Amino acid sequence: MRLAGKVAVVTGSTRGIGRVIAEEFAAQGARVAVVGRDVARGRDVVDCIELAGGDAAFFPIDLADEQATVGLIDSVVARWGHVDILVNNAAPTDALADKVDGPLTELSTQRWRRLLTVGLDAVFWATGAALRSMKGTGGGAIINITSLAAIRGLGGLDAYTASKGALTSMTRSIAVEYAPFGVRCNAIVVGLVPVSENPNSMVNDPANAEALTAFQLTRVGTPRDIALGAVYLASDEAAFVTGAELVIDGGASVKLALPVVSRVT
């Protein structure tokens, strides 16, 4: 029960990585605010957590709405008294699926804004509200879910890449600015973790299997790999960790795309 007594908000937690983070947090004793737009999915996550003996509530929020996003933190405080952990996990996956993103010269301002509103603006709104609460209660932990796209070039997803790069930089600034208030802020840099339910998505295309695993040193990741990292960063075990980037990518980011020149025997 590494998170016993703590209250956690996990954005984008009705499916995928966010859902597994919410479930792992609850299994570790946290009271969890499940956040998303899909009411049926949200209630299903809460039901599963409660069936396993945990405590959770669903907050149906559109993170593109500033007032609703800021109000989310107020609603969680009203229910449980405080906020100890915020996981900024939500990403504009619907926009990515609709191929809204693309090369910079092909993006309209409207398409650019659609990606950055959820990918970055919503983080600004939610984090600001959470920080105001944490400052008054002795601190907390903020975890930003970023991507290898923040540290390695990725063509064709210029708005998404920009949002993840900015989020990674903002992680360090928050860590410095709010350390005097007992707030820690860290990022998890996520590698290849297939979570798409769209059968036509890139990660589900068998033709891409070799390319998708080309840089892995271990295996393709799972949502639980990310969730376990989030549990650590949210827990008191990480009390001396802030401003860090925890890379969970199976070694993908450390391997150069060059032929093998030596082999250990």
Contact at 8 Å (CB) between 34 and 9? no
Alpha carbon distance 125, 70 (integer Å): 6
- Quick count: other Cβ atoms within 10 Å of Cβ 157? 17
Active site residue 160: yes
Q: Which of these is catalytic: 112, 160, 178, 215?
A: 160
Residues marked active site are found at 160
